[in-house]
Structure 1
Amino acid sequence: MLEHGIQAYVDEVNSTLSKIAAPNSAAGHREFRESLMEFFPTRFPAGMTIRNRFIEAPGRQIGIRIYRPAGWQEGGGAALFFHGGGFVSGSVFTHDIYAAGIAETAGVQVISINYRLAPENPYPAAFDDCYFTLEWLAQNGAVMGIDPERMVIGGDSAGGNLAAACALKARDKDGPTVRLQYLIFPCLDTDFNLHSYLENKNDPFLKRSQMMGFWKDYLSGRYDLDDYYALPLRCPDYSRLPAAYIVTADHDPLMDEGEIYARKLEAAGVSVQYRCVEGAMHGFLRARFTSKLAAAELEQLGRTIREAVMR
């Protein structure tokens, strides 16, 4: 059973969905996600400033959105945020509620990345955009008013995958310093027969069948990949990775892989905080204004990010 505040949010969303055509393609899913935000505009806290800009990358521009909370000062750390959406949808706009909420509760600058989407841009396009942005910020921190030695990276769902992959590559390539990887109900592998996938196959915001389609688009159907930047649960060595904060939900089909990842990191000597939130489902942090449970979890996430950045 969902916590009552989360259930209230689900009921409100379901009522709204009747006004929007159901998507039947990746492009349709994008339009669906963007349209939904017109009914649920983000409430930005007083004093927060938001700025959009582009980073020049080889053959492309990467859009970013910068959130600076009231009282923000130059020279501090920053949290990178990679949005969810099954690799095929989502944007800095659809995930304002996450990035702004993290900036507010952590009291740090948050930089959200508008990476390329599948199926038009399958793996590794999104990953390349996210890692390029991480490297760019490490090299150009002064431009953004941040200390590049005090960065954390994270995201929700597909964004959690991209954050875990960036942490792995930064370790492998002696890349940028990452103080924390915060993974919010991340998707990390393609084992659709895990218990949570079968038990929670009809999660209100993420169906098992949807996730299968998202992975197909992202990986171009190549489920047998041994590339752990695409599928972080297939990495053979988790040592020397940054500390992790991993949040899952007991009604989420992705619950098991988040827990498995936490245990693998712990076994490799990585410091891990793992939280499985009871009475919650995929995307539950969006209910922060109707659910005390969701609000408390966001506050806890913010505190953890602030501690990592400030230490």
Structure 2
Amino acid sequence: MIDSQLASALEHARASGMPDLCELPPEAARGLYRVLTADELPALDLPYETRQFDGPASRLGLRIYRAAADAPGVILYFHGGGFVLGDLDCYHTLCSHLCARSGCHVVIASYRLAPESPFPAAVDDSYAALEWLAAHCVSEFARPLPIAVAGDSAGGNLAAVVSLLARERKGPAIALQALCYPVTAARPGMFPSHDKFNGIVLSAATMQSFHQHYFGSADATSDFRGAPLLASDLSGLPPALVQVAGYDPLHDEGVAYAQAMFAAKVKVSLVDYPGLIHGYLNMAGKSPTANAALTDLALALRAALAAQATPQHFNPTRT
């Protein structure tokens, strides 16, 4: 059964006549997405700083949320939105809570959106953000720190793909890949949950629209940078946390990726929240269960980063 608070929110959305995201042109859909992600969590008075980094094609923005000076590491977060929607403002409150609950610094990086910038633009930008963070850790945080990557939905896909690329390119090092209801399959309709939970937050039509916007004429059925389940070798990846929601069209592909990594001897923690729905991290203000899942994510990230931190990280100068 769907979490009662989230079921009520879904019923309210249906009664309001809210259009499906795929029924709107991308710019209008982005505006609606900003509305949908606004005020879903209590706002925190946590300051942030804005920086820019050099993406492959343009300068891109990122935000830094700072924890205490002795924070054990930094989380690089990639936002969701089907590779078409989402921005730093949409995820401001979520990143504030992730910083506060984990006690770790959080950096959220923007990436170019489709259809204006189709695949693999988001991948290239996300890996560039990881390289920027690794290169600027000391200048931003006064000492080298372990880095974890995290993301939800399309952002979970990017966190997974960046982890694959970092393994192939021998860095930067990643302490944990935290993938929340990630996109991992080559196309919509490949798993039973795609049909079983069609229309619960995500419709089949919207998933197909996002897929078309992102991949366009590109062949998405052979490139792991679009679908990490296509990777021929998953061994040697960073430890992974995979969170999935019981009533999510993406449920089965998230489970499949966790199982594939486990079969490749990657250390994996798979957490299935049976009553939750797609996008629950942005709904944590509506549901105690979703709120607990956000805390679970924050604590897992802290534990992984603390395990990687060395005494030198905490004592950069010696007397």
Deviates more, 1:189-198 or 1:234-243: 189-198
Pairwise CA distance, 1:12: 5.0
Structure 1 residues 59 and 229, CA gap change in structure 2 (3 angstroms): closer
1:217-228 equivalence runs, <5 A? 217-228=213-224
Deviation at 1:43, TM superposition (A): 2.9
Shift of 1:95: 1.7
Residue 49 of structure 1 corresponds to 47
RMSD, aligned α-carbons? 2.2
Give SS of 2:294's match.
helix
Partner of 1:68: 66
Q: How many residues align?
A: 306
Q: Give distance in 1, aligned partners of 2:254 and 2:136.
A: 32
Q: Is residue 32 of structure 2 the alignment partner of residue 32 of structure 1?
A: yes
Q: Amino acid of the residue matched to residue 170 of structure 2?
A: D
What SS class does the counterpart of residue 280 from structure 1 fall into?
strand
Counterpart CA distance in 2 for 1:98 and 1:256 is: 25
1:242-261 correspondence to structure 2 within 5 Å: 242-261=238-257
C-alpha distance 263-156 of structure 1, shift in aligned 2 (>3 A): same
Pair 1:166–1:14, CA change in 2 (3 A): same
Q: Larger deviation: 155-164 or 89-98?
A: 89-98
Conserved? CA contact 2:127–2:162, under 8 Å: yes
Per-residue Cα deviation, 1:137-178 (whole angstroms, up to 9, x for no partner):
111111221655510001000000000000000000101010
**How far, CA to CA, are the matches of 2:61 and 2:54 in structure 1?**
9
Q: Which residue of 2 aligns with 1:4?
A: 4
One of 126, 133, 136 as aligned partner of 1:130: 126
What secondary structure sits across from 1:202 in the alignment?
A: coil
| Native 8 Å contact 1:77 1:146 kept in 2 | no
Tell me the alpha carbon deviations over residues 236-258 of structure 1, each in whole angstroms, 9 at most, x when there is no partner.
10000000000111110000000
Q: CA deviation at 1:15?
A: 6.0
Structure 2 residue 293 is the aligned partner of structure 1 residue 289: no
How many angstroms apart in 2 are the aligned matches of 1:13 and 1:160? 25
Aligned residue runs from structure 1 range 170-249, under 5 A = 170-189=166-185, 190-203=187-200, 205-249=201-245
After the TM superposition, which parts of structure 1 deviate over 6 Å for at least 4 consecutive aligned residues? 19-22
8 Å Cα contact 2:220-2:226 kept in structure 1: no
The percentage of counterpart residues that share the same residue type is: 32
CA distance in 2, matches of 1:14, 1:73: 45
Contact 1:141 1:148 (C-alpha < 8 Å) held by counterparts? yes
Note closer, same or farther for the CA distance 1:54–1:198 as it changes in structure 2 (3 Å cut): same
3-state SS, counterpart of residue 278 of structure 1: strand
In structure 1, the gaps of 5 or more residues are: none
Q: 1:197 to 1:3 in 2, by over 3 A?
A: same
Q: CA deviation at 1:286?
A: 2.1
Per the TM alignment, residue 202 of structure 1 is displaced from its structure 2 partner at its CA by 1.2
Give 1:22 deviation, angstroms.
8.3
- 2: CA distance, partners of 1:159 / 1:21: 18
Q: What residue identity is the alignment partner of 1:67?
A: Y
One-letter identity of the residue aligned with 1:43: P
Please tell me whether the aligned partners of residues 244 and 271 of structure 2 are also in contact (alpha carbons under 8 angstroms).
yes
The 1:156–1:58 alpha-carbon spacing in structure 2 relative to 1, beyond 3 Å, is closer
1:142 pairs with 133, 138, 145, which one? 138
For 2:66, give the aligned amino acid: R
Structure 2 gap ranges (5+):
308-319
Relative to structure 2, which stretch is displaced further, 242-251 or 90-99? 90-99
Amino acid at match of 2:179: L
8 Å Cα contact 2:154/2:182 also seen in 1: yes
Q: 1:100 aligns with which of 93, 96, 99?
A: 96
